Amino acid sequence: MSTYLEVDVSQNDFHGTTILAVKTPTGVAMAGDGQVTMGQAVVLKHKALKVRRMYKDRILAGFAGATADAFTLFERFESKLEAFSGNLLRASVELAKDWRTDKYLRRLEALLVVADKSTVLVLTGTGDVIEPDDGIVGIGSGGPYAQAAAKALVEHTQMSGRDIAEKSMLIAAQMCVYTNDQFTIEEVA
């Protein structure tokens, strides 16, 4: 029996990206599409980098939402990782606390997926730090499509985490107009 946690991000409409993290026994693969849109009709960029490596290349982070807000959160998260010697969970909890309580930060419109070789977390501006039960999570407008594809591929194939992430993102790109097929894929093992 699965347990579902509903995260209310209704004040934010995160259309315009897809980020997917897939944990396997050998590590974590994280993928992000490259499309940047303005409004509902204009594609401004095709090869944006929405997934990056942090803290001595041992941590991955991806964002969905407003770009400037995401960069602010990346900087804050990176400083938390430094302060807590790369401890993913501690840095995540501290960022979520700041994000929820800081007058400036709480207005930021983004979601983050962060991971090390054994843990995947979703961070929200409402103070949530969520670890998915199966280590698979998708955020952004194409996130549910990519996540569903990844769950099926993990269960029914022997593909690597990287291959699962790539194939799942291709499926999302075929279904979501805000997701393209120009991916950044990073792995930690």
Give the active site residues.
17
Residue 45, beta-bridge partner list: 36
Q: Nearest Cα to 173, choosing from 67, 21, 46, 66? A: 46
Cα gap 179→50, rounded to integer Å: 12
For residues 187 and 162, the answer to whether their CB atoms sit within 8 Å is: yes
CB-hemisphere CA count at 13 Å for 159? 20
